[in-house]
């Protein structure tokens, strides 16, 4: 189960507000039109109860029919204007907020995709997934409420001005509700911030637990771990539900105090009005207007305070998004022309690596791989094979030591140049939903159909692609035409063939296929690495035996290095592995 120490950073309240405010300021026209429309809507809405008070005074005073009709017409016009302007303001504010959220979502996705791979692996996929899915949805849903919240806020300000225009003493009576609101907020806000942050964190842990269970389903079934994993997922889900219920209970207490405040406020306004009318200092119409204004405030104030629940929850989600958006990413470096520079090999010098909070997984590894040479890395599970291959391929930097490609420090390469220079295929590849041709062209957008067919033929995938319902136009990926694990790996290898990099790193690229599929992938791999500098993390020793040299790893160190024949003759660890493999 993912622990909280591995969760990615969460931005502070000040940083979160600053980031969202920057996103809002990118649309000044929408900002000003939203403010003007909301103000006009609130003024028109406040005019209605004031005119109703005037109508009451006209009736009490025995006004003429013409004056009554004229005042009624003004009331009708103000009501229609308020309705139209409120709808316009809601639309404008929603558009403004949604655009700001879209920009923030793009920033988060950009940072997540460019995040240091070691940090991402340490944090776990669940935390990132919950932020770019559940947290984004929560913020977006809250933006839809923001239109009403913004209009309600403006309405409260304009309504108070309406109170003041009637009688300052009635406005003073209206103010008695605010101490109740302030005391309630002072108790609820700190508690809500903590509760909703805990809720979002528990949701992240739950997502991580579910994701790791599904992605490792084969391992779970192979080792009979269903009951254990079910308990872990159940506990993570229970923790998320408990955190949610705590937040809801805190909010319900807050909502009850709002009802008390409204009762106190309306009583104060009516009592003050009664005393003023009896003393002859105010009219029945003014008191009626004041009561209607206060009653009209129930909606906006209630929305502001009730929506505070959603605001707090959205604020916690927004802080998690800004936490990713504010992460440092590798600085862009000037890209060199790849066509004018082809690396001559890979050199690693005193490479060390450890993941946060863990022991070293790669220890003092120094190795040189000549141009066009293939090196297989073998060893027991946990020996550091995948980590070393990722460091050599530039997936993430080593904690210490240096890796050079053709004499150039790997850290000096622009990311685009690095990916054009080193092609990486991992054990768990992804097939993107859509036409197969589009999936392949991720590596070479300008590739023709002939280029795609040539790459597929090179990796031994031409026959099954030709048998697809629509050939290269067949939609594959999630929810589309299914591909086997071996076919997905062949698609990944075909992408590398289209990219045509001088260096390839293959991390157990045949491990997920069955025996027959593995043989096909081994043949495809052997064809693909011809003429290239290659690092192959070999799950099957038959694949390692075809490479020029083999490095045997144990506890993060290379303990044997040589050609297959040399290692067999040495009768060491590789020889023992080879013998066990054949048995």
Looking at residues 415-426, what average pLDDT do you find? 83
pLDDT value of residue 306: 64
- Which residues face 424 on adjacent strands? 505
pLDDT value of residue 134: 72
8 A C-beta contact, residue 435 and residue 472: yes
Is residue 59 predicted with pLDDT exceeding 70?
Answer: yes
DSSP string, 277-306: HHTTSS-HHHHHHHHHHHHHHHHHHHHHHH
Tell me how far apart the alpha carbons of residues 284 and 293 are, in angstroms, rounded to a whole number: 14
Using a 10 angstrom Cβ sphere, with 0-12 exposed, 13-18 middle and 19 or more buried, the burial of residue 133 is exposed
8 A C-beta contact, residue 96 and residue 147: no
- Which residues face 370 on adjacent strands? 345
Strand 422-425 versus strand 503-507 pairing type: parallel
Tell me how far apart the alpha carbons of residues 500 and 12 are, in angstroms, rounded to a whole number: 45
- pLDDT tens digits, residue range 293-302? 777 777 676 6
Mean per-residue pLDDT over the chain, rounded:
80
Tell me how far apart the alpha carbons of residues 355 and 123 are, in angstroms, rounded to a whole number: 10
Tell me how far apart the alpha carbons of residues 558 and 367 are, in angstroms, rounded to a whole number: 9
pLDDT value of residue 144: 65
- Check the CA dihedral 215-216-218-224 and report its sign: negative
Q: How confident is the model at residue 271 (pLDDT cuts 50, 70, 90)?
A: confident
Strand 549-554 versus strand 434-435 pairing type: unpaired
- pLDDT tens digits, residue range 206-235? 877 887 777 677 666 666 777 888 888 888
Window from 80-89, 125-134, 287-296, 355-364 with minimum mean pLDDT = 125-134
Is residue 338 predicted with pLDDT exceeding 50?
Answer: no
Tell me how far apart the alpha carbons of residues 474 and 483 are, in angstroms, rounded to a whole number: 11
Q: How confident is the model at residue 348 (pLDDT cuts 50, 70, 90)?
A: very high
DSSP string, 105-123: HHHHHHHHHHS-HHHHHHH
Q: How confident is the model at residue 561 (pLDDT cuts 50, 70, 90)?
A: very high
- Which residues face 409 on adjacent strands? 404
- Which residues face 435 on adjacent strands? 475
239 CB contacts (<8 Å, ≥6 apart)? 202, 205, 206
Q: 152 phi and psi, to 5 degrees? A: -65, -40
Window from 35-39, 98-102, 579-583 with minimum mean pLDDT = 579-583
**Which of 115-124, 216-225, 473-482 tops mean pLDDT?**
473-482
159 CB contacts (<8 Å, ≥6 apart)? 42, 46, 293, 296, 297, 300
Alpha-carbon dihedral angle through residues 229, 230, 231, 235, given to the nearest 10 degrees? 100
Is residue 337 predicted with pLDDT exceeding 50?
Answer: no
3-class SS of residue 455: helix
8 A C-beta contact, residue 345 and residue 406: yes
Give the Cα-Cα-Cα angle 279, 281, 285 (nearest 5 degrees): 110
Using a 10 angstrom Cβ sphere, with 0-12 exposed, 13-18 middle and 19 or more buried, the burial of residue 101 is buried
């Amino acid at each position: 189960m993912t622990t909280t120490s591995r969760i990615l950073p969460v931005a502070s309240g000040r940083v979160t507000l600053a980031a969202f405010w920057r996103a809002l300021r990118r649309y000044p026209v929408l900002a000003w039109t939203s403010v003007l429309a909301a103000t006009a809507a609130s003024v028109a809405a406040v005019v209605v109860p004031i005119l109703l008070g005037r109508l009451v005074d006209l009736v009490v005073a025995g006004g003429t029919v013409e004056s009554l009709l004229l005042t009624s017409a003004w009331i009708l016009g103000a009501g229609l204007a308020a309705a139209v302007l409120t709808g316009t303001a809601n639309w404008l504010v929603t558009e403004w907020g949604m655009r700001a959220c879209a920009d923030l979502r793009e920033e988060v996705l950009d940072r997540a995709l460019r995040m240091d791979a070691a940090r991402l692996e340490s944090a776990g996929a669940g935390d990132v997934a919950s932020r770019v899915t559940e947290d984004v949805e929560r913020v977006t849903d809250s933006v839809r409420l923001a239109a009403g919240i913004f209009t309600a806020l403006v309405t409260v300000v304009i309504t108070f001005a309406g109170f003041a225009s009637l009688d300052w003493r009635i406005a003073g009576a209206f103010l008695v509700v605010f101490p109740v609101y302030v005391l309630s907020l002072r108790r609820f806000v700190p508690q809500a911030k903590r509760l909703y942050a805990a809720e979002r964190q528990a949701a992240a842990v739950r997502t991580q637990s579910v994701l790791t269970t599904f992605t490792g389903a084969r391992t779970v079934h192979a080792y009979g771990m269903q009951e254990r994993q079910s308990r872990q997922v159940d506990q993570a889900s229970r923790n998320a539900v408990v955190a949610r219920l705590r937040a809801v209970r805190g909010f319900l207490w807050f909502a009850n105090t709002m009802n008390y405040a409204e009762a106190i406020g309306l009583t104060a306004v009516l009592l003050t009005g009664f005393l003023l009318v009896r003393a002859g200092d105010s009219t029945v119409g003014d008191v009626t207007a004041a009561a209607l204004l206060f009653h009209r405030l129930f909606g906006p104030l209630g929305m502001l305070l009730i929506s505070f629940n959603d605001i707090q929850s959205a604020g916690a989600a927004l802080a998690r998004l800004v936490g990713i958006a504010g992460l440092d990413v590798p600085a862009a470096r000037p890209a060199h022309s790849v066509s004018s520079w082809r690396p001559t090999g890979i050199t690693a010098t005193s490479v060390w690596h450890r993941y946060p909070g863990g022991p070293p997984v790669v220890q003092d590894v120094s190795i040189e791989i000549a141009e066009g040479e293939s090196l297989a890395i073998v060893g027991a599970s946990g020996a550091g094979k995948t980590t070393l291959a990722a460091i050599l391929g530039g997936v993430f930097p080593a904690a210490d030591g240096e890796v050079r490609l053709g004499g150039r420090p790997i850290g000096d390469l622009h990311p685009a140049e690095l990916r054009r220079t080193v092609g990486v295929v991992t054990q768990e590849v992804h097939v993107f939903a859509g036409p197969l041709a589009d999936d392949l062209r991720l590596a070479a957008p300008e590739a023709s159909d002939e280029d795609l067919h040539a790459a597929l033929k090179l990796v031994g995938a031409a026959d099954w692609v030709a048998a697809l319902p629509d050939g290269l136009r067949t939609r594959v990926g999630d929810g589309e035409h299914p591909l086997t694990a071996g076919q997905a790996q062949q698609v990944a290898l075909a992408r590398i063939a289209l990219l045509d990099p001088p260096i390839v790193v293959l991390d157990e690229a045949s491990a997920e296929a069955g025996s027959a599929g593995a043989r096909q992938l081994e043949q495809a791999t052997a064809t693909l690495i011809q003429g290239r500098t290659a690092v192959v993390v070999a799950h099957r020793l038959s694949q390692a035996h075809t490479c020029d040299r083999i490095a045997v790893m144990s506890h993060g160190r290379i303990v044997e290095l040589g050609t297959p024949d040399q290692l067999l003759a040495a009768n060491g660890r590789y020889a023992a592995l080879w013998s066990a493999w054949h048995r």
